[in-house]
Amino acid sequence: MYLADYHVHSTCSQDGRQTMAQAAQAAVDAGLDELCLTDHVDTVYWGPEQKPRWDFDWDAVRRQFRQAQEQWGHRITLRLGAELGEAAMSFQRAEHLMQNAPPLDFVIGSVHMAGKKFHHKDLYYIEKADEAYYDSIIDSYLEDVLALARWGKFQVLGHLTLPLRYINENYGEHMTFAHHMDQVEEIFRTIIPKGLGIECNTNRGNEPLPGADILRLYRRLGGEIITLGSDAHRPADVGCFIRQRQELLRECGFRYFTTFTGGKPEFKEL
């Protein structure tokens, strides 16, 4: 069984709690064969004002990745990636932020905000409310995901059902995307012909994002490119539930998962 974690953050991310070298050591300790570092590159600064962001410290990324390679590259395959967040809020800023990046193996395209209807409110700050409110949040969020999918300058869509992390885990709800499957299908019909994929985010051992219903839909529509990522921000979570989510992919009809080199997919047997 080949094990790869393709969603991990270091202190090059605002919320990271590990260096890239520490993440690489944790990956080795967890028995992984491959690790891709994917720090947040966002078009806005985090916080209530959503100030536009035009710069990113790529030098710190280069330095940390070089150190990780020097210390652990002989024990594990290390790839350099990025999680490009909120590109749909300004594709111009997204392209500007990425133009000075070192050669990247992999880019996750992701949305963490509730979309235009909610003034791009951070999903982390969703209020506890009723199902109608939650469905409205999901609907608005997916509008931004669709815009991101149409733009398409990434390899996979990250944690497609991210609102459920905050609705269900923070408030003990049991929401699903059942009322939004037409939107999800439109997103899949947009990315699949482009040769783009999705991520199965293990969510650090919590509810996978997305779950089996959406994974099966993606596979049924012809989707084959799929990565596995823990979304780890600290060493204890690197590689978390990668083995179990490989089994989930098999149950959903997948025969392979995907890793990347220089932006090109490589298929590993499940």
Q: 118: burial class by Cβ within 10 Å (0-12, 13-18, 19+)? A: middle
Q: What is the pLDDT of residue 47?
A: 74
pLDDT in tens, the chain (270 residues): 999 999 999 999 999 999 999 999 999 999 999 999 999 999 999 877 789 999 999 999 999 999 999 999 999 999 999 999 999 999 999 999 999 999 999 999 999 999 999 999 999 999 999 999 999 999 999 999 999 999 999 999 999 999 999 999 999 999 999 999 999 999 999 999 999 999 999 999 999 999 999 999 999 999 999 999 999 999 999 999 999 999 999 999 999 999 999 999 999 999
Domain boundaries, the chain: 4-269
Q: What is the pLDDT of residue 23?
A: 98
Residues found in the chain: 270
Q: Which residues contact 26 (CB under 8 A, 6 or more apart)?
A: 18, 232, 235, 236, 238, 239
Cα 51 to its chain centre, rounded Å, is 22
Looking only at the bridges linking them, the beta strands covering 34-42 and 4-8 are: parallel
Q: What pLDDT digit, counting tens, does each position of 113-170 carry?
A: 999 999 999 999 999 999 999 999 999 999 999 999 999 999 999 999 999 999 999 9
Are 148 and 109 a contacting pair, CB within 8 Å? yes
Q: In angstroms, rounded to a whole number, what is the distance separating the alpha carbons of residues 245 and 61?
A: 28
Are 177 and 169 a contacting pair, CB within 8 Å? no
* Both tokens assigned to 140: 């608005």
Q: In angstroms, rounded to a whole number, what is the distance separating the alpha carbons of residues 107 and 119?
A: 26
Q: What is the DSSP letter of 44?
A: B
Strand spans (E) along 43-94: 77-85
Q: What is the pLDDT of residue 46?
A: 81
Q: Which residues contact 241 (CB under 8 A, 6 or more apart)?
A: 202, 203, 204, 205, 208, 230
Which CATH code for domain 4-269?
3.20.20.140
Q: In angstroms, rounded to a whole number, what is the distance separating the alpha carbons of residues 256 and 270?
A: 5
SS3 content of the chain, % helix, strand, coil (to 5): 40, 20, 35
Are 113 and 123 a contacting pair, CB within 8 Å? yes
Q: What is the pLDDT of residue 83?
A: 98
Q: What is the pLDDT of residue 49?
A: 73
Residue linked to tokens 């409205």 = 136
> H or E segment at 259?
strand 256-261
